[in-house]
Structure 1
Amino acid sequence: MDTPLKIAAIDWEEMWVRQTALHAGQRDDENGCYERAWLAPLGSETSTYTDELLSRMELRWNQSVLDIGCGNGAIATALARRVRSVTALDADPRMLAAITHRALAEGITNLHFIHARWEAVEIGRDIEPHDVALASRFFPLTNLRAFIERMNRAATALCYLTWIVGEREEERAISEILGTEHHPLPEYGIIYNLLYTMGLHPSVEIFESRGTQVFRSIEEAVHDLTRGYQSRIESAGKKAEIESWVKSRLSDDGGLLRRRTSSRWALIGWRRS
């Protein structure tokens, strides 16, 4: 009889690196497969993601929260209204400029900013531990264990991270039109199992976010939904087919084009002991 393979015997980080490399390798920009997470969409966008996420986090008014990879600041500014203080960290100065503008416009004074790469931050020197560390829609291409270990040192009470469940509709469609094998991002189960083998006893909750993207033109929509694939689409002569697919996902609203979106996310959390 075969002996079941124990979770601890599997190299979950190597599996993560391999699957991430396959996903990145199908794009024009192998080192930028998370560009869409960094940059705001070209069209305006509304989403229930922030509300759905924060409603599931254990937060108290007297806590400090570290937002790792804060992006455009939507989550950090929402957090700042619920807790004592928030530190927003991002490697992209454009994102910090956006969040600074947002905080000033909304009169938020308990939000602090750090311009740094998370993997280069030394806890206790560059940043003090916070009560809660959050990595929303995080994106370590490699060194997942080191990313988690640094998060663990940065929090005294709780750590949270989110990862997409399933695949992006547009990436699957692009692969089918190009006739290439589709490699989605790694599944959240790899993160969970790595945490388990590290003795961190994670919990997982799946939630859904819904939203609407708004574009001024079909060209704008195509450009946004095909980021990272445009050179391959053009070289394959599939631009017209891609445009046709994008059009099928849009509705015309008085000259504006709207795309309804729905995504599932895994909220993975663990308590610091």
Structure 2
Amino acid sequence: MEPLINWGALQELQRPPMPDQGPGGPNWDNIAPMYNMMAEMERSYTYDQMDCFDTDAEDTVLDIGCGPGRITCVMAERAKSVTALDMYPKMLETCRANAAARGLSNVNPVLLDWREAELGKNIRQHDIVIASRSVGMWDIQKLNAFAKKYAVIVCWANAPSIPPILDELFASTRAPEIPGRGRPPLREDRRVGYNAVWNMVYDLGADPNIRIITDGFTKTFDTADTAVDWLRGLQPFDDDRYLPVFRQNLAPYMSQNADGTVTFKRETKSYVLWWKPVPAGTP
């Protein structure tokens, strides 16, 4: 059955596409260290995201565009196994290292472009298939086909993503660019946000669930100087003349703790949308 409204087309009009993950696009390997640092700061919020749906000890999980393993590691603690799929060797290497550091032996890294994944040929069905802010979320029918229990999408909920957050923290420091920075700002329009994704899943014939949750990035440091030094590593700049403005940019998100430590916290919002997969052609 054809949908009454082409939500996918409306979504494309509302915002520019994600930076290309293929040849000619940005090399995500070059920014793997930065994304690994951001994933570390998002760890507690990641547990909240994965708590939205139930995971059994016998479930198999596919994490599409796993990056440094932010979701892979959390799900590997809960499920039988996780296939961590990414097309960039450095991202996959970082994911593998993070899994090992957390004592996880049930992670299977796969170097593959999701757009080249073929069901039953190079990737089998998994119980839970997750696309978090990755190329996997742009083809909902394919995501649905690879899942047996749940298909899951995680993305920003009408709230800042990593590039604009870094733009804010590193404003006027001449930090090097990352994919997504320097683009025209997203045209925020609540009429075409996560509701569009929900409706696309609904039009598959599925019954989508959605939760909007607090997300963010936080880390506690021994001193303010330690915090500044570590956070500067997200987008290093060489000239110390920009340190005062960098400290000023960080100030709204820094708090002093009773024990003398300092906590950085920059919160935002994400949505978690999940559904039980339906056969192709379900009315």
Q: TM-score, normalised by structure 2?
A: 0.69
- 1-structure distance, mates of 2:134, 2:96: 21
The Cα shift of 1:12 comes to: 1.5
Aligned position for 2:8: 13
The Cα shift of 1:188 comes to: 1.1
- 2-structure distance, mates of 1:17, 1:265: 19
Match for residue 259 of structure 1 among 264, 276, 279? 264
The structure-2 alpha-carbon separation of the partners of 1:43 and 1:163, relative to structure 1 and needing over 3 Å to count, comes to: closer
The structure-2 alpha-carbon separation of the partners of 1:181 and 1:129, relative to structure 1 and needing over 3 Å to count, comes to: closer
- Contact 1:211/1:260 (<8 A) preserved: yes
The structure-2 alpha-carbon separation of the partners of 1:171 and 1:102, relative to structure 1 and needing over 3 Å to count, comes to: closer
Q: State the aligned residue count.
A: 245
Aligned position for 1:249: 252
- Contact 2:69/2:94 (<8 A) preserved: yes
- Contact 2:86/2:111 (<8 A) preserved: yes
The Cα shift of 1:95 comes to: 1.4
Match for residue 132 of structure 2 among 120, 124, 136? 136
The Cα shift of 1:71 comes to: 1.5
- 2-structure distance, mates of 1:67, 1:90: 9
The structure-2 alpha-carbon separation of the partners of 1:90 and 1:271, relative to structure 1 and needing over 3 Å to count, comes to: same
- 1-structure distance, mates of 2:55, 2:255: 40
Note if 1:209 corresponds to 2:215.
yes
- 2-structure distance, mates of 1:243, 1:84: 44
- 1-structure distance, mates of 2:102, 2:147: 27
Q: Provide, for residues 123-166 of structure 1, a one-character-per-residue CA deviation record: whole Å limited to 9, x for no partner.
A: 110111011111123356xx92xx21111111112111111112
- Contact 1:64/1:130 (<8 A) preserved: yes
- Contact 2:43/2:70 (<8 A) preserved: no
- Contact 2:156/2:270 (<8 A) preserved: yes
Percent of pairs with identical residues: 20
- 2-structure distance, mates of 1:157, 1:47: 24
Note if 1:97 corresponds to 2:86.
no
- 2-structure distance, mates of 1:38, 1:268: 26
- Contact 1:216/1:257 (<8 A) preserved: no
The structure-2 alpha-carbon separation of the partners of 1:192 and 1:111, relative to structure 1 and needing over 3 Å to count, comes to: same
Match for residue 151 of structure 1 among 137, 140, 143? 143
The structure-2 alpha-carbon separation of the partners of 1:70 and 1:37, relative to structure 1 and needing over 3 Å to count, comes to: farther
The structure-2 alpha-carbon separation of the partners of 1:212 and 1:194, relative to structure 1 and needing over 3 Å to count, comes to: same
Q: Provide, for residues 188-227 of structure 1, a one-character-per-residue CA deviation record: whole Å limited to 9, x for no partner.
A: 11111111222222111112134315785758757847x9
- Contact 1:22/1:183 (<8 A) preserved: no
- Contact 1:68/1:134 (<8 A) preserved: yes
Gaps of 5+ in 2: 173-182, 279-283
Aligned position for 1:171: 164
| 2:109 counterpart SS class | strand
Alignment map for 1:35-184 (pairs within 5 Å): 39-41=35-37, 45=41, 47-139=43-135, 144=138, 147-168=139-160, 171=164, 182-184=185-187
Q: Provide, for residues 168-192 of structure 1, a one-character-per-residue CA deviation record: whole Å limited to 9, x for no partner.
A: 18838969x99x9742576211111
Q: Aligned-residue CA RMSD in angstroms? A: 4.1
Greater shift, 161-170 or 250-259, is seen at: 250-259
- Contact 2:39/2:68 (<8 A) preserved: no
Greater shift, 52-61 or 37-46, is seen at: 37-46
Residue identity in the other structure for 1:155: A
